[in-house]
Structure 1
Amino acid sequence: MPRHRTPPIRTVSTRRRAADPLEEPPSLNLETGMANDQLVGDTTSELVREASVSSMHRQQEDRVDFGEELRRLQAENSRLRAERSFSSTMLVHEAPLLPYDGKSEWEEYLTHVEVVSTLNQWDEDRKAQRVASSLRGTALSVLNSLPIRDRTQWIPLTTALSQRFGQEALAPKWHAELQSRRQRPGESLVDLSNEIEKLTRLAHPGWPDFCKNQIGVRAFLGALASHQIRGIVAAAAPVTLHDALYRAQLVEASMRGCDGTREGCYECGQKGHYQNRCPNKKKEN
């Protein structure tokens, strides 16, 4: 006999699917008896896959960020090495500072210090350190007389050196040398003029230029060894020391001859001596 089969229970969803012939009913898993288990498993796998993909993306982004940060650090290190190498080169090739022993003019050396410090971009502390390390001879004794804290300070150091070697303190000395200056045997008019100009500037610091010119002209005429050159130049009444030198050179050239080949004494015309050592002049005196 045929076995009687119980018809399946028709629910609302099955009736709806039955009414819609295009929609196929989901296949039931006979082992579990529920179709939703497969859907849940597929959804879980999809979520796990998406989480894994997002994790991989984050790891890649982290690696990209780390690579950018590494490149930035490498570029910064290269820049710092280049700056350090440039600074070392500048220090090696900085302008040197000449030593000072107290025998030359302090104002001239101070001008040299200012020029070198401007080229090397030194501040006052650096200038004081370099000047203190450049002192020699009697100037070094001035450094030794200062307190330890003032030896590398710009204002105390330069003040002490100015008081010792500045021209204002030595003005009487230069004035005495200017009054007693005479033309040496064989000394040219140019050398004599330069020496007179220097002594005038040292003996009268801060004086107006026209006063220095008058004093320089008077000292130059008094220092000339030739009385003839002195009289002719004084009669021309030169205003500046350079004017007096120019006129003295013209007179000297005319006394030697047009070609400048005459040699010997201007007083007696004989060779072998100059006018300041002329024996005939001494006999007349």
Structure 2
Amino acid sequence: MKALRPIGAVALAALFFFPVYVVVTGMLKPVKDIQSSPLGLPMPPTTANLGAVLGREDGLYWSALLNSVQITVLSVVALTLLSAMLAHYLVRSTARWTRPALLMLLSGLMIPPAVILQPITQVLGAVGLMNSVVGVVCANVAYYLPFGVFVFAGFIGGVPVEMEEAASIDGASRFRLFWQVVFPTLRPAAASVMIFLGVWVWNDFLTPLIVLGPESGTTVTVGVYRSVGEYSTNFGTLYAFSFLASLPVLLFFVALQKQFVAGLTAGAVK
């Protein structure tokens, strides 16, 4: 049985690596080679597909990249700050209604974002935020706030309340108490929340497609969809666009992987 474990691990790794192999080899081959040998190695490799995506006359990739960066950064910052402050208040407050409110908020984890997309678009349309980056950010806050509160609430429960009481006795205001005493202890949780939400927001397809709309540009995920032709598709440029769309979030995870692991292990200890 133990001898089969390495084989299973290799098979699982190959299963996850196979789409990466198809995309990377496909973007380095001309279309005729993709059609004749879709799984073969590029002989010789070419960067023409990457150049075609990066050098498009309409600048689709660069405008999509800018929108994705704006939406991801604004959404992650807003969600991290709001969920940390809300979790701290709900955990530390002694009011009777905070416990049911926390449970009700966490029940939002069971609701898929697509289920509440229609009412969210109606609200955004009523306040004039449709077809805007701010509208997409507000929709993301509505989707993922329960997850952020869930993570931060678990960490705050393990922070000694005596630290906050000592700061209050010294005359610290609520704002100063949170930012200088509580939030520094939540850095591992904040790193985990930022990585998870950053990947989710970056890979989101449906919300930018509907809320942002064609008038305000597109994101990289929607750009991949729009690079597919109505009657025919250049799979070389499609693979290249897919690779370029996934590259930033991969680099983001690699840069913060130590903080991510620290957040998971700290959560396990607590």
Kindly indicate whether structure 1 or structure 2 has the higher relative contact order, using CA contacts under 8 Å at least 6 residues apart.
2
Q: Which has the higher helix share?
A: 2
TM-score band, normalised by shorter chain: under 0.3
- Report the TM-score when normalising by structure 1: 0.20
- Report the TM-score when normalising by structure 2: 0.21
Greater Cα radius of gyration, structure 1 or 2:
1
